[in-house]
A and B are shown apart, each in its own frame.
Chain A
Amino acid sequence: DTGVSQDPRHKITKRGQNVTFRCDPISEHNRLYWYRQTLGQGPEFLTYFQNEAQLEKSRLLSDRFSAERPKGSFSTLEIQRTEQGDSAMYLCASSGLAGGPEETQYFGPGTRLLVL
């Protein structure tokens, strides 16, 4: 198992364009989380999936943001009509079954987005 992977690692786009990021969790993990991290700050929660169901969304997740996990494996996060304020690191994390060490979230390397 190689851990959580994210693609692309870097993305530069122009304001108003749409972007999509992908996250592949640790294979046996059924929980998947998206966070956003701006420079010099801690990550902030965006949304959470258990299997294919999106169970929680932060109010940070505006209407321009959408996330999916169609088969309960990989997930995508799409930002429509990007704004300069969307520039950040987008982190994905996964965790296993509830309770014990399996509740620990393991993070991917992140996708760094720059909106010009």
Chain B
Amino acid sequence: AQTVTQSQPEMSVQEAETVTLSCTYDTSESNYYLFWYKQPPSRQMILVIRQEAYKQQNATENRFSVNFQKAAKSFSLKISDSQLGDTAMYFCAFMHNQAGTALIFGKGTTLSVSS
């Protein structure tokens, strides 16, 4: 069975600094998707960034980028120029490349950004 591991329960960073959240996963599949979702306190989960496993190029979305290492089964999220609004729980998630499959989530990393 696929598993997703986030080894950092909590992280903190100062405004404007850069922080990296770690994620590793276990799968025997070669074709799949990886996601980072953000869940602010008492607010809904939103998609931060998505990576297709067949793409070697790392995905980027404005201040958010990933370091996808397929052989190592590692998928870290880098947040540059951190802002107070980045304070949230961040979840790494895995999904098979198959229609209608469920997301498998890690336990999350709580990120606190302070001024």
With A31-B99, A109-B43 known, 20 other A-B pairs at CB within 8 A are A33-B103, A40-B107, A40-B108, A41-B108, A42-B4, A42-B93, A42-B105, A42-B107, A42-B108, A43-B91, A43-B103, A45-B103, A48-B102, A50-B100, A98-B100, A99-B99, A103-B33, A105-B95, A107-B46, A110-B44
Contact A43 B105 (CB under 8 A): yes
In the assembled complex, which residues on chain B have CB atoms less than 8 Å from the CB atom of A55?
A: 100
In the assembled complex, which residues on chain B have CB atoms less than 8 Å from the CB atom of A85?
A: none
A residues bordering B, Cβ < 8 Å? 31, 33, 35, 40-45, 48, 50, 55-56, 58, 91, 93, 98-99, 101, 103-110
Nearest-neighbour CB distance to chain B for A114, whole angstroms, equals 15
In the bound assembly, the distance between CA atoms of A79 and B99 in angstroms comes to: 27
In the assembled complex, which residues on chain A have CB atoms less than 8 Å from the CB atom of B102?
A: 33, 35, 45, 48, 56, 58
In the assembled complex, which residues on chain A have CB atoms less than 8 Å from the CB atom of B47?
A: 104, 106
Minimal Cβ-Cβ distance residue in B for A93: B103
Contact B50 A104 (CB under 8 A): yes
In the bound assembly, the distance between CA atoms of A35 and B50 in angstroms comes to: 20
